[in-house]
A and B are shown apart, each in its own frame.
Chain A
Amino acid sequence: MTAATIVPHQRRAGQPATHALFHTVIKDRHGRVKHDSLHHNLRTNAGADWQAALMGSAAGTPAQYMALSNSNTFPGTHPAAADTTLTGEITSTTDTGLVRALGVYAHTTGTTSYTISKTGGSAFTAATGATVYGEALFTAASAGTMPFESALTSAPVMNAGDTLALTVTVNF
């Protein structure tokens, strides 16, 4: 198995206290890794409001849905703090295997992070193929609030049968 090189993360000056890392691994249909990257996210303005509601109000809704974009406006125009939708979000029209889906939540007691992931057996599987430029978390299966958004710097091309494992680590 090819292991990703993950650099220990430290919060940088000016970075929000709550921030996330997007880890993306794409394998071909034979299981060979063809893309492995780790990107910092952008927490949107709506994400700050989402966080407040989640911590201080019963109205808060977790952001467990993971979405992909095939718009080449990433990383030039997006992500942007004012974004409320994922531009070019992949829908069933583009690829039925890469549409927004619920991720798995995990948290270890005593730590200051949690992960949302679609990996291993539940990874995205391309039906026809697409180029993935951006990724995001949402609070709902459609529409919803988008608190975190990220761009892939080397937009990987996915062919039919390729899998995309995405893990978002949220630090707080």
Chain B
Amino acid sequence: MESDVHPSLVMRQEVVEEESTTFISYPDEQWTADHQAHVEAMTQQGRPVRSKRRLLAETVQGVMEEHCPPGAVLHVHVVPSEERDEGERQAVENFLNGFLLEDAE
């Protein structure tokens, strides 16, 4: 099923009374394009540039806030892809879960 929708990210969302899965499609090329746009905007305004991974986390968080019900507990699973090896996939996944956990506290 995951390969059918071709997401880069899958957020597993756990609510108190039920559990469901939210698929977020954010392909690497889109992530890269968004980061390039961010770098151009920040550079033009002389403001600090955020890392590509940080931008990803903020995007996921933004989607979560709009899409998921309040109180949902989220676990992010990054779908394997040809663009990244297992080590990188795991690193991104850990970073995202850490970012969301830190924000929730």
Contact = CB atoms under 8 A, between A and B. Distances in A.
22 contacts: A29-B47, A101-B34, A104-B26, A104-B59, A105-B24, A107-B22, A107-B23, A108-B67, A115-B63, A115-B66, A115-B67, A119-B59, A119-B63, A120-B61, A120-B63, A121-B54, A121-B57, A123-B62, A125-B37, A160-B45, A161-B41, A165-B62
B45 A117 contact: no
A120 B24 contact: no
Interface of A: 23, 29, 96-97, 101-102, 104-111, 115, 117, 119-123, 125, 127, 160-161, 165, 167, 169
Tell me the dominant secondary structure on chain B's binding face.
Answer: helix
B77 interface: no
Given A105-B24, A108-B21, A167-B66, A121 B56 contact: yes
A165 B59 CA distance: 10
Interface string B20-46: 111111100010011001101100110
B50 A121 contact: yes
Contacts of B34: 101, 121-122
Given A106-B23, A115-B66, 8 more contacts: A23-B66, A102-B30, A102-B33, A104-B26, A108-B21, A119-B65, A120-B65, A169-B66
A122 B55 contact: yes
Contacts of B50: 121
B69 to A, nearest CB: 9
Interface of B: 11, 13, 20-26, 30, 33-34, 37-38, 40-41, 44-45, 47, 50, 54-63, 65-68
A165 B54 CA distance: 17
Given A104-B63, A161-B45, A110 B20 contact: yes
A102 B50 CA distance: 20
Nearest to A166: B66
B34 to A, nearest CB: 4
A115 B26 CA distance: 13
A127 B41 contact: yes
B44 A106 contact: no
A105 B67 CA distance: 10
A51 B82 CA distance: 32
Given A101-B37, A122-B34, A125-B37, A108 B22 contact: yes
Contacts of B44: 127
B47 A161 contact: yes
B63 A117 contact: yes
Contacts of B23: 105-109
